[in-house]
Amino acid sequence: MRILIVFLAALLAWAPHLGARERAKELRLLAAELPPYTFQIPPVSVGETPGVKQGFVYELVLEMAKRVGHDGIIEFMPWQEAQRVAQTQPNIGILALTRSPEREDRYRWLAKLYTDDLVVVGGAGVDVSSLDKVKDRPIGVLSNSGAEALLEERGFTRIRPHHEEWMNARLIKQRRLDAWLAPRLMIIYGMHEVGGNLEALNFGEIVRKSEIYLAGSKDLPDAEAERWQKALEEIKADGTYQRIADQYNRLKIEPIPDDKRRRFSQPVWEN
């Protein structure tokens, strides 16, 4: 009996370490403020403590996580930092990342979650029938995005990168930007978020498809990719994917007045 008690005590002492070891094997999932794909209400730019995590892609990945036995914890951090971590540390997952030629070799592409349009929009009177029409005009993009890389590759010299898309929406509303290159859904959300008028924008050339992925660090094995891809197929087959899509199609976006924002530059995050 005494031996049994000693054994049980040792087992209990090691249990937390065993649990930590198992958790360490899980994919560490990272996200950023990329509404309507992944976001928090209220966002970190409004309050000291960010609010409820949500978003179309966020909800999809949560459902997929259940199917693969993942704990469903998704950390939010600045987009540039999330990409840096995913490119330099092992066992990382990142959402929602656009797959583009500039990024192709930097990540393991686990599952394609949605296809949007990368579209150029212009303010009143700005011709955006093709992207080249605004090559010599100030054009907003999300920092460290595929859109920014594309403009740099094409030799644009008046690129105005910002850390979140609502900043581009605010500037184009104020006519301080002539054009804006971003995924269509992000433009629509951003304009609503700043109380802008979508009808005042010219929607121009679809520059390319914007394929939104759950991606990961390059070290991830085939088996990990297969698990997440299978989970995506399951949520599409049982109607969960469409239910989440319908939920976000009905989403009411509440504008956030400028005076409610605590800062207009890079958010400061604490994890």
What pLDDT score was predicted for residue 176? 94
What pairing do the DSSP bridges indicate for beta strands 179-183 and 139-142?
parallel
**Mean pLDDT of the residues in the chain:** 87
Q: How does pLDDT run across 233-264, given as a tens digit for each residue?
A: 999 999 999 999 999 998 888 888 887 886 54
Q: Which amino acid is at 124?
A: A
Distance of CA 168 to the CA centre of its chain: 16
Q: What is the pLDDT of residue 2?
A: 53
| CA separation, residue 90 to residues 86, 108, 232 (Å) | 7, 11, 23
pLDDT at 51 over 50: yes
- Dist CA 56 CA 35 (whole Å): 8
Q: Reply yes or no on whether the pLDDT at 24 is more than 60.
A: no
